[in-house]
Chains A and B, each alone.
Chain A
Amino acid sequence: MTAFVDILFGGVFHAAVLFLVAAGLQLVFGVQKIVNLACGSFYALGAYFGISAVNWALKLGLPPQLFLGVLLLAGLVLGLIGPVIEALLRTVYHRDEAFQLLLTFALVLMFQDVLRFFWGANPQQLGDLVMSYGKLSAGGVIVPTYNMLVILASIVIAAGIGTFLQRTRFGRILRATAENREMSQGLGVNVRWMYASVFTLGTVLGTVGGALVVPTAAASLDMPVELVVEAFAVVVIGGLGSMRGALAGALIVGIMRALAIRYYAELEMLAIYLVVIAVLIARPVGLFGKPVE
């Protein structure tokens, strides 16, 4: 029982963070049809910037209990880079996928050194700030309250995105643009503005994800490239472009990782890739994906 609850908490926490990044990836793929390799870089940027932001806040005399808010704010502020990068990607929207993928790969390379320039090559940590929210005990397992708050925040964000996409006017226009770009342009949708805002939203999801995870894990320069493959696994399992898929994929990957780490550490990532390959073979569009072509 204890082991079960432990795996569940660990897995769902990891899934909560993965979901945020994967949701950003899905949003951008759904609308702009670009697979953004740099989503992991946004995540790492959020993590590093989150550390700096919390340290500044503490220096300014803010009580440590407010650090969750500071992290969220840090993630949101980083959204400012979204429009800048979108302006660069705009040059390849009409080009072959190879170029789109390579351009985001160029971003990965550049961000790697941006992180190195500002924060150095050594991993950074936030110390034991996580514990300022205390601990919770459930089913014989003690987990930091912070982890529960992150799961909660992720659920709130997931519900928020769902409502936003399904119920608001902007969400409907967004889905229409994803479905048929020319038609919505013909109906008077400002596609350029739409793309910029979608990409910014995708960026923010990534940076917030990174900022939220950093109190529990160190930020390192391997973060961006390692996270990309996990986020890829999530979207492939769930189905490219589907939000529900991102949620299901994140839960599968998160819990499988927690299981593997507990029982057979050698299988950690191996198991996830095997699931990815199995899904691609059995159902190439993923669990919730729509058929292409």
Chain B
Amino acid sequence: MRLAVIIAAVVALAAFPKLATPYYVTLLLPALAYAIALLGFNLLFGYTGLLSFGHALFVAIGAYGAAVMSSKLGVKSFELILLASGAAAVVAAVPVALLSVRYVRIFFGILTLAFGMLFHSFLFKFYDITGGDTGIRVLRPSLIGMDFKELDKTSFLVGPFYYYCLVLLVLAGLLMWRLVHSPFGLQLQAIRENPRKAEYLGVRVRLLRFIAFLISALYCALGGVILAINTGQSDPELAYWTHSGELVFMTVLGGFASFFGPVVGAFTFVLLKAELMGLTQYWRFVLGVILVLIVVLFPRGLAGLGQAAWHKLRGARP
């Protein structure tokens, strides 16, 4: 049943550019990007139980990776950009993770926040290297060696690039699904439930937290690359702590207790934010109210609501 829903969702996403105006398709690109990033983020948050308030750091590394590769080094290949930015994020995550995973709960959150802000002030202040508050331009990449010169920017984004990212999301999702259902994933969940007990059972708590952190950083960087190519610019706001807050917001909105929750959250958040911004200049207030409602009344998020509704439906028709 679940498989049917997922296949239907992927088919719907694949058919979307044929049915909707380019405006809505360009909206879905950041949603795809955040969906990939959050799949990784939730490995750390939902599965391992570590709440980071600084993962925008890795999204920004992905975005600046794309910017430096395309504008400064002249690398056009999207595959190479993904590889290099992902590798950069993992390398940057090693010291951050080594230091952060020694702590849990609020200390972990504050330490990651501090690292994120450290990178933000580096991006913001070192104008010569990073372009300061305007950031660096991101040029259009080539996909599998094809540069699609005949297409203008929008039709490139809503055409080949969109499908490429959709495939990436499916692959990233499949890989994450394998990961969380492997012994590795089960050990992470054991750590979340009771770290001490897990340790007695022979689970190497810190090592596994460390690995989960690196994987989450990699996913966030891949999302960041897509985000940056979509907007054509990487700026320091990407690393700001409120952006990290948005990542947590999306995850909880969708439901961190479920595998697909973060994906649902990413799509809902991006579309909702765009709609609200069109309706009122006070969209932050409405988002805040929604977040309050989710936190207070529906802590399991939209995925939790969906599951509850499904069980009710099944219960009504035995």
Q: Which residues of A come within 8 Å of B, CB atoms?
A: 35, 37, 88, 91-92, 95, 97-99, 101-103, 105-110, 112-114, 116-117, 225, 228-229, 232-233, 236, 240, 265-270, 273-274, 276-277, 280-281, 284, 292
Contact B295–A280 (Cβ < 8 Å):
no
Interface of chain B, helix or strand or loop or mixed?
helix
Instruction: Compute how far the CA of A265 lies from the CA of B121 in the bound complex, rounded to whole angstroms.
Output: 11
Instruction: Compute how far the CA of A255 lies from the CA of B143 in the bound complex, rounded to whole angstroms.
Output: 51
Chain A residue at minimal CB-CB distance from B126: A266
List 14 additional A-B contacts (Cβ < 8 Å) besides A37-B245, A225-B242: A97-B51, A99-B252, A99-B299, A101-B248, A103-B291, A106-B292, A109-B285, A113-B285, A116-B282, A229-B241, A232-B114, A236-B110, A265-B125, A270-B122
Interface size on B, residues (CB 8 A): 42
Contact A240–B125 (Cβ < 8 Å):
no
Among A106, A265, A281, contact of B291 (Cβ-Cβ < 8 Å): A106
Contact A99–B282 (Cβ < 8 Å):
no
Nearest-neighbour CB distance to chain A for B247, whole angstroms, equals 11
Q: Check B163 for interface membership: any CB of A closer than 8 A.
A: no
Q: Check B173 for interface membership: any CB of A closer than 8 A.
A: no
- Residue among A106, A268, A276, A292 with the most chain B CB within 10 A? A106
Of residues 263 through 318 on chain B, the ones whose CB sits less than 8 Å from some CB of chain A are: 281-285, 287-289, 291-292, 295-296, 299
Q: Which residues of B come within 8 Å of A, CB atoms?
A: 45, 51, 53, 99, 102-103, 105-107, 109-111, 113-115, 117-118, 121-122, 125-126, 240-242, 245, 248-249, 252, 256, 281-285, 287-289, 291-292, 295-296, 299
Chain B residues closer than 8 Å to A116, beta-carbon distance: 281-282
Among A103, A232, A266, contact of B110 (Cβ-Cβ < 8 Å): A232
Contact A269–B106 (Cβ < 8 Å):
no
Instruction: Compute how far the CA of A109 lies from the CA of B293 in the bound complex, rounded to whole angstroms.
Output: 14
Nearest-neighbour CB distance to chain A for B49, whole angstroms, equals 9
Chain A residue at minimal CB-CB distance from B125: A266
Chain B residues closer than 8 Å to A91, beta-carbon distance: 296
Nearest-neighbour CB distance to chain B for A22, whole angstroms, equals 13
- Residue among B113, B114, B242, B284 with the most chain A CB within 10 A? B114
Nearest-neighbour CB distance to chain B for A246, whole angstroms, equals 15
Chain A residue at minimal CB-CB distance from B114: A276
Q: A98-B51, A284-B107 are in contact. Are A268 and B125 (CB under 8 A)?
A: yes
Chain A residues closer than 8 Å to B125, beta-carbon distance: 265-270
Contact A101–B51 (Cβ < 8 Å):
yes
Contact B295–A107 (Cβ < 8 Å):
no
